């Protein structure tokens, strides 16, 4: 009996050690590392901006990520990336999460999504008054030409709602903007957030116009599918809490201030809270 009792005792200790090791999850790994890693993209105001003099990053994504890092009691580490590579960075484990991700079904097969951090509406940016107060169905006409950056969320909108219109697709957003300012296209299709910045930076392109019905998409945080449920629940809870109490919109508006944009510049009734 003593031998059996000893064996059972050793087994119990071994099991408890295994359970403790197994419970060391994603949050424990981040805390042990001491940093929360996110991808950031150069010159993507108001999301990201790197000061060339100090090397410091700023923008509303940085403010959001700093708050998440503070909640985890770690520092923030920024990994320079691109929009195209951000999801790959999450998949490969190069970063722990990526912000400002548009939740699409295709991307959902690659990474796990949090609850929305904010909502972004799809808009037109144009100087043409004839495009005011139009519906998407009215805009879906061969007489109109639209410019869009290829492969973006707004490109998906053109493929679904502007199938009869002429759509010029460009590799970069800047090329699409030039197409509108030079008269090759009637309007730029983009998001409310980008549209506000673009119209301020390049007044010749015109102002933001919101077709009806209003089409909005959630912006989420992407995390690796291999992350444990505790971490995923934490990230979603952070996103939902800060969106509902207005912190996320406050960070967004703060990042728009250097561009001379305030909440009054948005169409009546619009915000980022959803």
Q: Where are the domains of the chain?
A: 26-118+218-265, 120-216
3-class secondary-structure state, position 264:
helix
Same fold, 26-118+218-265 and 120-216: yes
Q: For residues 198 and 203, what is the distance between their CA atoms, to the nearest angstrom?
A: 8
- For domain 26-118+218-265, the question of CATH label 3.30.2130.10 is answered with no
Q: How far, in whole angstroms, is CA 123 from its chain's centroid?
A: 17
Q: Which helix (H) or strand (E) holds 231?
A: helix 229-244
pLDDT on residue 42: 92
pLDDT on residue 14: 40
The pLDDT profile of the chain, 274 residues, written as one tens digit per residue, is 454 444 344 434 343 433 333 446 999 999 999 999 999 999 899 999 999 999 999 999 999 999 999 999 999 999 999 988 999 999 999 999 999 999 888 899 999 999 999 999 999 999 999 999 999 999 999 999 999 999 888 999 999 999 999 999 999 999 999 999 999 999 999 999 999 999 999 999 999 999 999 999 899 999 999 999 999 999 999 999 999 999 999 999 999 999 999 888 887 777 777 6
Q: For residues 82 and 103, what is the distance between their CA atoms, to the nearest angstrom?
A: 17
Pick the CATH number of 120-216 from 2.60.40.10, 3.10.20.600, 3.40.190.10, 1.10.3720.10: 3.40.190.10
Nearest to 116 by CA among 214, 45, 222: 222
3-class secondary-structure state, position 199:
helix
3-class secondary-structure state, position 102:
strand
């Amino acid at each position: 009996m003593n031998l059996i009792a000893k064996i059972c005792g050793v087994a119990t200790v071994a099991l408890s050690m295994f359970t403790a090791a197994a419970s060391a999850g994603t949050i424990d790994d981040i805390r042990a590392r001491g940093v929360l890693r996110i991808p950031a993209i150069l010159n993507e105001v108001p999301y990201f901006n790197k000061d060339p003099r100090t090397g410091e990053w700023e923008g509303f994504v940085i403010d959001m990520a700093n708050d998440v890092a503070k909640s985890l009691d770690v520092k923030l580490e920024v990994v320079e990336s691109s929009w195209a590579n951000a999801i790959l960075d999450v998949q490969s484990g190069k970063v722990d999460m990526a912000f400002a991700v548009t939740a699409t079904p295709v991307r959902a097969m690659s990474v796990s999504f949090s609850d929305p951090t904010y909502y972004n509406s799809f808009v037109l940016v144009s100087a043409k008054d004839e495009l005011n107060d139009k519906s998407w169905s009215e805009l879906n006409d061969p007489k109109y030409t639209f410019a869009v950056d290829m492969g973006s969320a707004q490109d998906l909108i053109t493929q679904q709602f502007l199938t009869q219109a002429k759509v010029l697709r460009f590799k970069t957003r800047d090329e699409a903007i030039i197409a509108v300012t030079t008269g090759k296209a009637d309007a730029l299709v983009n998001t409310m957030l980008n549209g506000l910045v673009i119209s301020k930076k390049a007044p010749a392109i015109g102002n933001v116009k919101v077709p009806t019905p209003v089409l909005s998409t959630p912006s989420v945080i992407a995390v690796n599918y291999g992350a444990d449920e505790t971490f995923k629940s934490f990230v979603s809870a952070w996103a939902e809490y800060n969106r509902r109490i207005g912190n996320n919109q406050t960070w967004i508006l703060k990042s728009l201030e250097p561009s001379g944009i305030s909440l009054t510049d948005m169409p009546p009734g619009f915000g980022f809270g959803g």
